[in-house]
Amino acid sequence: MSDIPVIDIALVLNGKPEAATIEPRELLIDVLRSRFGLTGTKRSCDVEVCGACTVLLDGLPVSSCTTLAADADGREVLTIEGLASNGELDRVQRAFVEHGAMQCGFCTPGMVMAVKALLALDPHPSEESIRRFLSGNICRCTGYVKIFEAVKALAK
Amino acid sequence: MLPARFELHRPTSIAEALALVADHADDATFYAGGTELLVALKARVLRYGHVVDIKRIQALHGIALQKDGTLVIGALATHHQIATHPLVQKRLPAYAALSADVANIRVRVAGTLGGNLCFAEPHADPPALLCALEARVVMANAEGERTLPMREFILGEFTTARLDGELLVRIEVPPLPAGAKAAYRAFGHLERPAVGVAARCDAGGGWQFWIGAIAGQPAMLECSPQEVEAAAAGLQAHDDMHGSAEYKRHLVAVLARRTAKACLA
The secondary structure of B132-173 as a DSSP string is HTT-EEEEEETTEEEEEEGGGTEEETTEESPPTT-EEEEEEE
Segment B115-142 shows an average pLDDT of: 97
Q: What is the pLDDT at residue A4?
A: 86
Give B-chain residues touching A49 at CB under 8 angstroms: 104, 191
Q: What is the pLDDT at residue B214?
A: 94
State whether B42 and A46 contact (CB < 8 Å): yes
A2 pLDDT band, cuts 50/70/90, is: low
Segment A7-36 shows an average pLDDT of: 98
The pLDDT of residue A83 is above 90: yes
Distance CA B22, CA B16 (A): 10
pLDDT digits over B210-232, tens only?
A: 999 999 999 999 999 999 999 99
8 A C-beta contact, residue B74 and residue B68:
no
CA distance A99 to chain B (A): 24
The pLDDT of residue A96 is above 60: yes
State whether A70 and B53 contact (CB < 8 Å): yes
% chain A with pLDDT above 90: 97
Q: Which residue of B has its CA nearest to A2?
A: B5
What would the DSSP string read from start to end of A53-108?
A: TEEEETTEEEEGGGSBGGGGTTSEEE-GGGT-BTTBPPHHHHHHHHTT--SS-TTH
Distance of CA B226 to the CA centre of its chain: 27
The pLDDT of residue B249 is above 50: yes
B189 pLDDT band, cuts 50/70/90, is: confident
List the single residue in A23, A48, A49 with the smallest CB-CB distance to B5.
A23
CA distance A115 to chain B (A): 11
State whether A68 and B191 contact (CB < 8 Å): no
B238 pLDDT band, cuts 50/70/90, is: confident
Give B-chain residues touching A74 at CB under 8 angstroms: none
Segment A10-39 shows an average pLDDT of: 98
User: What is the pTM (predicted TM-score) of this model?
Assistant: 0.96
The pLDDT of residue B109 is above 50: yes
Q: What is the pLDDT at residue B105?
A: 97
Segment B40-69 shows an average pLDDT of: 97
What integer best gives the mean pLDDT of chain B?
Answer: 96
The pLDDT of residue A1 is above 50: no
Does residue B174 sit at the A interface (CB-CB below 8 Å)? no
Segment B137-150 shows an average pLDDT of: 97
Segment B108-122 shows an average pLDDT of: 97
Give A-chain residues touching B7 at CB under 8 angstroms: 4-5, 24
Q: What is the pLDDT at residue A3?
A: 80
List the single residue in B10, B55, B107 with the smallest CB-CB distance to A48.
B107
What is the ipTM for the molecules in this complex?
Answer: 0.95
The pLDDT of residue B72 is above 70: yes
